[in-house]
Amino acid sequence: MTKYLLLGGCGLLMLASCSSDTPEKKSPVPTSLPVTVTEPVDRDWSTIKNNGVLRMITSYSTGSYFLYKGLQVGFEYELLKKFTQENDLALEVIIPGPEESPYDLLNSGRGDIIAANYTITPERKEVVEFTRPYNIVNQMVVVSEELGFKPENVADLRNIQISVRRNSSYFVRLQELEEQGYPIKLSIIPDDMDTESALFQVAKGEYEATVADNNMFKAASKYMEELVQGPVIAESDTIAWAVRRNAPDLENQLNKFLYKHFRFNEEGEPKRSAFLNVLRRKYFESGNQIADYYNPAYQNNPYESISPYDNMIQEVAEEYDLDWVMLTAIAAQESKFNPSSVSWAGAVGIMQVMPRFSEISSDSLYIPEVNIREGAKILSSHLKHYSYMDSTNQWQFALATYNAGSGHLADARRLAIDHNDDPNSWEHVSESLLKLMQRRYYQHARYGFCRGIETVRYVNEIMNRYNTYQSILAYSNNRGSATQGVLGIQTLN
């Protein structure tokens, strides 16, 4: 449901209200959204399930996705991660580049779902299909404390310059108010500047005002005391995920999941699951992750932009001629950078080294630098073993060996040969690893049963995380963070 509020001097005027379940008429006006790929690829639920990966197009922000001490977190990320876990899928994160359109990424098949605090609007519905909503927000004007007063209604906004993106739902709403005769003084900011970045600028006094959803304002205001809440200009905006218009099965699966976590009761009031309420409190009300995200010392250190051990990992990676970003992705997968971590199998430390296979004493393996160096040494040995392969297959095989052991990989490669598949192709060998979970295959294997699905998922998740880390580093290095967000990455909401 959507309600527009006009807060004039004489009170509250309700302009429109409609049920979110009622189909909206398609606008005859051509979309002004950045869309060049108009014909979506044929990639629905069955294809995604067969591939085992759901690709999430999102923004780098607290409302969607960000790195916290090397770990992938964020409201949208955790919500969608739960969906993929329930459906036995890996989740790959796609962050649009400076010149990339999220709609084109979706329709071209590079991504499967836009999950970025998206408001359902008629213009966007011309390009994508939306799932059922999972959040309801109000749009509010936020002003700088330096103005010296708190505007109570739209009439009070006279002579206050409000800075928003042209490609945002905020711009559309402000234009509507302007057309209705309200004193709106609009200032257009770059399309790749996200709401949080605009709030930073308002808090610093660089902008007089902007517009934000109430949940984002609530989170930001805890760490930006210079923000002042102004009038609400739109009430009950519905937030949903966007999918391709020719992917009804994917949309149906997502809707069934969201129904368990968000629905309206008979009185039209939203009811949320315990899980969704936990996420809301974590990302919009409290939590160390958000406090650190807004901490200038945390955001402005580009050399600690991935993990707490970046410098140490870079030094060890250089020593063994390894890709330090890949080494970081492995550490995140293995232990979440916890040097005291111990697995059920007895692997210890950041890189989860097995003491019985190491010449290093067990106690020493709890020392971060020692453990990282030992893990790098083992990985380097695996990479040399597969040195005749192309770099992608080489890393995939090395990762699989690090996880499952060389014996199970040898079994899987022999099984690939038995099926006339390429034993040097990870695509084929990963299928053989899955077969080694079936008795008719593992009973003839030299090393027996293998939890192949764990190894395949392990490799996929590390490769996906590596690609995401690379994107974040590339954008943060190429673009200034002062006005573009914490890491200078394009955001979508």
Q: Does domain 310-467 have CATH number 1.10.530.10?
A: yes
User: Does the structure show a pLDDT above 80 at 5?
Assistant: no
pLDDT by residue (tens digit) across 123-169? 889 999 999 999 999 999 999 999 988 999 998 998 899 999 888 88
pLDDT of residue 67: 84
User: Does the structure show a pLDDT above 80 at 481?
Assistant: no
When the pLDDT of each residue in the chain is averaged and rounded to a whole number, the result is: 85
> Given phi > 0 = left and psi -120 to 50 = alpha, else beta, which region is 210?
beta
% helix / strand / coil in the chain, to the nearest 5?
45, 20, 35
Rounded Cα gap, residues 16 and 398, in angstroms: 59
Q: Is 387 exposed, middle or buried (0-12, 13-18, 19+ CB in 10 A)?
A: exposed
Q: Is 83 exposed, middle or buried (0-12, 13-18, 19+ CB in 10 A)?
A: buried
pLDDT by residue (tens digit) across 309-325? 999 999 999 999 999 99
Going by DSSP bridges, is the β-strand pair 209-213/270-272 parallel, antiparallel, or unpaired? unpaired
Residues of the chain within CATH 3.40.190.10 domain(s) are: 1-299
Task: Kindly state the tokens that stand for 454.
Answer: 């764990």
Rounded Cα gap, residues 378 and 290, in angstroms: 36
Burial profile 8-33: b = 16 or more Cβ within 10 angstroms, e = fewer:
eeeeeeeeeeeebeeeeeeeeeeeee
Residue 33 is given by DSSP the state: S
pLDDT by residue (tens digit) across 412-457? 999 999 999 999 999 999 999 999 999 999 999 999 999 998 999 8
443 SS3 class: coil
Nearest to 198, CA basis, from 165, 168, 173: 165
Rounded Cα gap, residues 193 and 309, in angstroms: 29
Going by DSSP bridges, is the β-strand pair 185-189/129-130 parallel, antiparallel, or unpaired? unpaired
pLDDT of residue 59: 86
pLDDT of residue 339: 94
Residue whose entry in the numeric block shows the structure tokens 């379940």: 21
Rounded Cα gap, residues 115 and 56, in angstroms: 7
- CB-based contact 128:103 (threshold 8 Å): yes
368-385 vs 391-404: helix axis angle to the nearest 10? 120
pLDDT of residue 472: 79
Look at 41-45, 67-71, 285-289, 468-472 and tell me which has the smallest mean pLDDT.
285-289
pLDDT of residue 305: 64
Residues of the chain within CATH 1.10.530.10 domain(s) are: 310-467
For range 380-394, the mean pLDDT: 96
Nearest to 272, CA basis, from 285, 258, 286: 258
pLDDT of residue 493: 54
Topology given in CATH for the domain delimited by 1-299: D-Maltodextrin-Binding Protein; domain 2 (3.40.190)
141 SS3 class: strand
Residue whose entry in the numeric block shows the structure tokens 């932009």: 305
pLDDT of residue 476: 66
Rounded Cα gap, residues 399 and 393, in angstroms: 10
Residue whose entry in the numeric block shows the structure tokens 């008429």: 25
pLDDT of residue 96: 86
pLDDT of residue 190: 86
Nearest to 490, CA basis, from 96, 64, 11, 3: 96
Residue whose entry in the numeric block shows the structure tokens 């250089």: 318
pLDDT of residue 398: 97
Question: From the DSSP assignment, how many helices (H) and strands (E) are in the chain?
Answer: 19, 15
For range 401-415, the mean pLDDT: 96
Catalytic residue among 235, 334, 374, 461: 334
User: Does the structure show a pLDDT above 50 at 300?
Assistant: no
Whether 334 sits among the annotated catalytic residues: the reply is yes
